[in-house]
Amino acid sequence: MDSWENDEVIQRFREYLRIPSVHPDVNYDECVEFLKRQASELQVPVKVHELIPGKPVVVITWEGKEPQLPAILLNSHMDVVPVYEEFWTHPPFEAKISEDGYIYARGTQDMKSVGMFHLEAVRRLKAAGVRLKRTVHVSFVPDEEIGGEHGMQAFAQSEQFRAMNVGFGLDESCPAISTKVIRAFNGEKTNRQLKVTCRGNPGHGSLLLSNTAGEKLHYILDKFMKYRAGEVEKQAQGTWVGDLVSINLTQIEGGVQINVVPDSLTVYFDIRIPPTLDHDAFDDMIRKWCTEAGEDVTFEYIWNNPPVKITNIDESNQFWTALLRAVKEMGFDIFCNVCPGTTDARFVRQQGVPVINFSPILNSPILLHAHDERIHVDVFRQGIDIMEKVVEAVANI
């Protein structure tokens, strides 16, 4: 325990974890001041871009020997999701280290650990007198956990981002239960939130009316849930969830009284579509279902993200090959596929920049957004070791 308490690297991480940058209504001031202090200690410039009031983007820049080359972006988000403190073994913003070496805190996995991997890797390389070819930008953005609209989405579309000349990026993935294989993502599903409205003949609940909203709703539900069952079956047979369409019924609205046949019923679905699927064909399928259900059945998207091209993981991507080589030289491997959720990486990919989601957290339970989120101190130190070699490799291409 004493060695952990006296470890400056661990203490910096714990200080960051203790900042309650938790939704809703996050105040990022403490995070910004903490990161400014890190930049000062590293003797590198820092910029705070506040394109939207109260939504700062912090960029710490270590200039390379050949700054004209496209730069490397190491991105993480400062915000964390809410907690149910009564279910935690230790207070979620205390960063308590247990007797067996686990740091308990919200953000230990998602994703303050990864932000500190980035900073500590730069700190080590600078301390060793290393000069990298490419400039490295270490960015910390707000609001990823609520969609990123006022965070990376706005920043990636800005002149400030374009001026950074980013050629390759790293962002978050998720922990791996393996001791040797790191989980990474080269793309992610498109999130589409859908509303289907079924209108029909209203009337008394004692009658067997035709052309009712309920009959049409039944048809729609049957189509969506049968499609979902097919994807569940594929998952049971071993298909990775990132390669499957996830469909979940999340809300149903309508009706005025139990003995009145309603004139309208509405159902909402949360849908995540892999980048390998034809998104237009998927839309056409839903449109066909609505037509088959009967007249006055319509759908609209509450949230309709565009598909984002995946990052190549073959010999054509020199950054990927350098990353993979560095990891293998340390005795590890990478399992890379499509992320089942969404991250800020999609906004950077939309700008034509290749990004790999890469969180070198090994031998750990996946506790993203969970009670008792934690990381072992040895796993945290190992993550820095891996990130140091990766940053050096991709920034020296």
Q: Which residues are catalytic?
A: 79, 144
Q: Which of 98, 74, 94 is nearest to 85 (CA)?
A: 94
Only one residue has tokens 């498109």, namely 190
Task: Enter the tokens of residue 361.
Answer: 């957290």
Burial (CB count within 10 angstroms: exposed 0-12, middle 13-18, buried 19+), residue 307: buried
Helices 377-395 + 112-127 axis angle, to 10: 60
- Tell me how crowded residue 294 is: count the other CB atoms within 10 A of its CB: 18
- Quote the CA–CA distance of 271 and 228 in Å, as a whole number: 10
- Can you give 68-124 as a three-state secondary structure string? CCCEEEEEEECCECCCCHHHCCCCCCCCEECCCCEEECCCCCCCHHHHHHHHHHHHH
Q: Which of 145, 22, 146 is nearest to 84 (CA)?
A: 22
- Quote the CA–CA distance of 267 and 263 in Å, as a whole number: 14
Question: What's the half-sphere exposure (Cβ side, CA atoms, 13 Å) at 220?
Answer: 30
User: Do 122 and 43 contact (CB within 8 A), yes or no?
Assistant: no
- Quote the CA–CA distance of 13 and 16 in Å, as a whole number: 5
Positive or negative torsion for Cα 140, 120, 348, 395: positive
Q: Is 258 helix (H, G, I), strand (E, B) or coil?
A: coil
- Quote the CA–CA distance of 169 and 320 in Å, as a whole number: 10
Q: Which of 333, 330, 335, 334 is nearest to 385 (CA)?
A: 330
